[in-house]
């Protein structure tokens, strides 16, 4: 991470170099790629931590002049390559920003989102609907950091773009309304917030169905608003709904694994130490199909709900058990085996008090699956 200091005066006349993040006059240059400039060390560090480490080398072809091409065909080919590189960067930065958001690292999300925005503007123009996702991430990050006016600005942009676009997809509208809902909730305007979150759930259901994991976020945030309004029964019902959605999604994934790979009796046999190495080859097939942002979202929601349930004045063991079970399945699917085991045992303990046979069986199967992993150390 070499950093080189620049002397702005030494640059050719008229060429002004701007900081990557704040667009102020640049005094530093990244030593690795030599095409990225920063005003001060803080911005350089922030950008590096957030996104620059991942895209440093990828920026070079985009920021250096194009090579000389001999024919029209080569020129077109070159342009196409540039375009595809830019699109790839847009996606990459977007994903990274999203992940940061779900992990709660709002500050780190902003540089990544800004990159995503700038590249999108470059590719698609200022008024296109593709700009909406980066605006939404920026807005969410700003809300997380407490910069509400900034967030409102970004969201107005996004909303205006959506209104102007006639064929905007339901998924994007859903995300837009979720952010609007979060903004109003942060401002304390609960009625508006609920209206927008209702829109979020409606569009998500139109796009994916009522029981999809995309709607779970909407339910969770709505529950939070009702919680803050002290309408506990509604909040409780919504938390349960969000939990149920994730629970059934994970159960489905685990069932698929159980059926395609082995029968439950084989799993029991696999618990024996001698056969643990056999399952290692099968490990490669156990790749979780949920992508990283979904994982992060699930983790955020389920942990928050668990927290609330554990601190509730009136304990509901059945529901708490379900949350713990869902979390255990999540950790198993992302191959965090020790944590999965710990959570699964906790879930089993809670459920066994209640004498619900089928839930207990499901948890037991999960525990057997976990124990069959070679990482599991007694």
Per CB under 8 A, residues contacting another protein are: 191-192, 194-195, 197-199, 201-202, 205, 210-211, 219, 222, 226, 231, 233-234, 237-238, 241
Could you tell me the smallest distance in angstroms from the CB atom of residue 359 to another protein?
18
- Burial of 59 by CB count in 10 Å (0-12 exposed, 13-18 middle, 19+ buried)? buried
Could you tell me the smallest distance in angstroms from the CB atom of residue 234 to another protein?
4
φ and ψ at residue 231, rounded to 5 degrees: -95, 85
Quick one: 191 or 255, whose CB is closer to another protein?
A: 191
Quick one: 124 or 202, whose CB is closer to another protein?
A: 202
Quick one: 76 or 248, whose CB is closer to another protein?
A: 248
Could you tell me the smallest distance in angstroms from the CB atom of residue 196 to another protein?
9
Could you tell me the smallest distance in angstroms from the CB atom of residue 110 to another protein?
31
Quick one: 37 or 220, whose CB is closer to another protein?
A: 220
Say if CB 368 and CB 256 are below 8 A apart: no
Quick one: 283 or 315, whose CB is closer to another protein?
A: 315
Quick one: 227 or 375, whose CB is closer to another protein?
A: 227
Could you tell me the smallest distance in angstroms from the CB atom of residue 183 to another protein?
16
| Alpha carbons 242 and 362: distance in angstroms, whole number | 19
Say if CB 226 and CB 238 are below 8 A apart: yes
DSSP letter for each residue of 138-165: HHHHHHHHT-HHHHHHHHHHHHHHHHH-
Distance of CA 212 to the CA centre of its chain: 16
Element (H, E) at 38: strand 37-38
Say if CB 220 and CB 242 are below 8 A apart: yes
φ and ψ at residue 12, rounded to 5 degrees: -60, 155
Could you tell me the smallest distance in angstroms from the CB atom of residue 223 to another protein?
9
Token pair listed for 24: 């102020």
| Alpha carbons 159 and 42: distance in angstroms, whole number | 32
Quick one: 32 or 234, whose CB is closer to another protein?
A: 234
Could you tell me the smallest distance in angstroms from the CB atom of residue 327 to another protein?
22
Q: Is the dihedral of CA 334, 211, 347, 320 positive or negative?
A: positive
Quick one: 44 or 193, whose CB is closer to another protein?
A: 193
φ and ψ at residue 159, rounded to 5 degrees: -65, -40
In terms of DSSP H, where are the helices of the chain? 41-47, 53-63, 72-102, 106-124, 132-145, 148-164, 170-187, 190-208, 213-228, 232-261, 264-270, 276-283, 292-310, 317-333, 337-354, 357-371
Could you tell me the smallest distance in angstroms from the CB atom of residue 64 to another protein?
48
């Amino acid at each position: 991470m070499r950093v080189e200091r620049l002397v702005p005066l030494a640059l050719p006349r008229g060429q002004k170099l701007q900081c990557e993040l704040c667009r102020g006059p640049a005094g530093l240059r990244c030593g690795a790629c030599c095409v990225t400039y920063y005003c001060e060390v803080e911005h350089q560090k922030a950008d590096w931590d957030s996104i620059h480490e991942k895209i440093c080398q990828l920026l070079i072809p985009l920021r250096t002049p194009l090579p000389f091409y001999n024919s029209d065909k080569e020129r077109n080919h070159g342009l196409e390559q540039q375009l595809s590189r830019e699109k790839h960067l847009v996606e990459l930065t977007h994903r990274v920003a999203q992940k940061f958001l779900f992990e709660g690292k709002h500050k780190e999300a902003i540089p990544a989102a800004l990159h995503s925005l700038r590249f999108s503007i470059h590719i698609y123009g200022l008024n296109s609907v593709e700009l909406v996702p980066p605006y939404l991430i920026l807005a969410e990050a700003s809300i997380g950091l407490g910069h509400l006016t900034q967030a409102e600005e970004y969201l107005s942009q996004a909303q205006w773009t959506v209104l102007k676009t006639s064929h905007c997809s339901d998924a994007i509208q859903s995300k837009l309304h979720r952010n609007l809902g979060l903004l109003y909730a942060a401002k304390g305007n609960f009625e508006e917030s609920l209206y927008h979150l209702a829109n979020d759930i409606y569009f998500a259901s139109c796009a994916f169905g009522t029981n999809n994991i995309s709607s779970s976020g909407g339910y969770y945030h709505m529950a939070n608003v009702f919680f803050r309004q002290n309408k506990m029964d509604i909040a409780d019902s919504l938390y349960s709904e969000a939990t149920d959605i994730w629970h059934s999604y994970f159960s489905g994934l685990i069932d698929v694994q159980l059926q395609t790979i082995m029968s439950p009796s084989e799993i029991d046999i696999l618990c024996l130490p001698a056969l643990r190495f056999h399952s290692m080859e099968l490990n490669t097939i156990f790749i979780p199909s949920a992508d990283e942002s979904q994982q992060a979202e699930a983790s955020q929601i389920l942990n928050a709900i668990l927290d609330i349930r554990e601190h509730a004045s009136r304990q509901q063991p059945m529901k708490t058990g379900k949350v713990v079970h869902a979390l255990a399945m999540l950790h198993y699917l992302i191959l965090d085996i020790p944590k999965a085991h710990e959570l699964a045992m906790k879930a089993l303990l809670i459920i066994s008090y209640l004498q619900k046979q089928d839930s207990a069986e499901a948890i037991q199967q999960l525990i057997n699956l976990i124990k069959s992993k070679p990482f599991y150390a007694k």
